[in-house]
Amino acid sequence: MALQLLVAGGGIGGLASALALARGGHRVELFEQSAVFAEVGAGIQLGPNAVRRLHALGLAQALDTIAAKPDALVVRAASDDHELACLPLGDVAVRRYGAPYCCVHRADLHGVLLAAVRAQADVALNHPARLVQIEHSDDVVTVAADGARAWEGDALIGADGLWSAVRAELDVPGPAPQPTGHTAWRGLLSQAALPLAQRSTQVRVWLGDRLHALVYPVRGGELLNVVVLAEAAPTGDARDWDQSTSLDALQRATGRCCTTLQGYLSAVPTWRAWTLHDRAPLTGPGQMTHERIALLGDAAHPMLPYLAQGAGMAIEDAVALAEALRSVDSDGVPEALRRYANARWQRNARVQARARRNAQIFHAAGPLRMARDLAMRTLGARLLDQPWLYAH
């Protein structure tokens, strides 16, 4: 039966869910507060778990046109550039997990999802439309956007990100997002403008004291995404994903790194910063749904990007939500949303917890760092591979 579904938020999670729900035969009204559908930020890594779902949503060809498919993940020490471990990706990931490991520009992925959603006759995109009022009864959810007209639906999906208004209305148990004391500095480089030795087809990671850095190709390999994640005080408005900053500000917080990494950092023309927040891992399905309202993506489970899976989990949520709502009539919606939350909360909690643990491992100093480096050199690919995550 075709349900009328309301989706708050037009980020990666909101668009992926609108697409999955429309492909499941439902009518969707999506609300995005921004005047323009767009994504700030730079690179996103997509593990095979997320890529398989995007393929299932019919996006394999479109993804191929925007993605870089790195050959390997190579981890080095930020102090002297010595290699600690390497995980082959490329065809090895495809053989192992049925889909490639992809790196994309956030705006490109958003553009692919938006085009696919626009091609669905049963999705209405409302923007700018900031949801300000939510009411729900046993039978229906009603929302109003910025005092404008009201919409009714069989369910409301809160895909409205870290500072979710839907979550606030829901009175979901759990504290507000917490600042983690970590900041992401990021920039982009044109590969064509770099000397050959600096061009890369790998995900390169450097681990240092209280920081790690990544360099990986996006936009089909045309650009390199450069990001440094450091335990450093926020630089500006903590809610702003796109703060203006500089290499000086970064290196006052982190100091200088090995020459290879320094070469990439110095080449970045414009730096932006992003203050990182997370929530404690989910403790039960009640934190993802209540009656006719469900949360998805960062609205439900924001996490540190230290497993590169926040968007991946939003995409997994979207597909699971559509699956739970398949062949359900309006009376069956609350039970279907409970099935969705039951199917998703432990997976999301595990990823949240692993992302937090990775922060300690990646940024270790002293004896813990020595133990980490020894384990990496000894176990190599076996330590970097994540079958529990990618095969799911």
Residue closer to ligand FAD, measured from CB, 261 or 276: 276
31 counts as binding ligand FAD under rule CB under 6 A: yes
Total residue length of the chain: 392
Residue closer to ligand FAD, measured from CB, 69 or 328: 69
Say how many residues touch ligand FAD, by CB under 6 A: 33
CA dist., res. 124 & res. 237, Å (int): 33
CB of 211 to ligand FAD, least distance (A): 13
**Could you say which DSSP state residue 68 is in?**
B
Q: Given candidates 5, 6, 7, 14, which one binds ligand FAD under the rule CB under 6 A?
A: 14
Query: 174: alpha, beta or left, given left = phi > 0 and alpha = psi -120 to 50?
Result: left
DSSP assignment string, 293-354: EEE-GGGT----STTS-HHHHHHHHHHHHHHHTTT--GGGHHHHHHHHHHHHHHHHHHHHHH
Q: What are phi and psi of 163, to 5 degrees?
A: -100, 45
CA dist., res. 9 & res. 163, Å (int): 11
Is 216 annotated in the active site? yes
CB of 311 to ligand FAD, least distance (A): 3
Which member of 97, 101, 216, 340 is catalytic?
216
Task: Calculate the CA dihedral of residues 176, 389, 86, 190 and round it to 10 degrees.
Answer: -60
CA dist., res. 164 & res. 147, Å (int): 18
Binding mask 228-267 toward ligand FAD (x if CB under 6 A, else -) reads ----------------------------------------
Tokens 């004896």: give the residue.
367
CB of 82 to ligand FAD, least distance (A): 25
Tokens 């959810």: give the residue.
141
CB of 16 to ligand FAD, least distance (A): 8
Q: Given candidates 24, 33, 51, 102, which one binds ligand FAD under the rule CB under 6 A?
A: 33
Residue closer to ligand FAD, measured from CB, 330 or 356: 356
Q: Given candidates 177, 187, 217, 310, which one binds ligand FAD under the rule CB under 6 A?
A: 310
Q: Which stretch binds ligand FAD (CB under 6 A): 56-64, 160-168, 244-252, 353-361?
A: 160-168
Residue ranges that bind ligand FAD, judged by CB under 6 A = 8-14, 31-34, 44-45, 130-131, 159-162, 165, 184, 274, 276, 297-299, 305, 308-312, 314
State the catalytic residues: 216
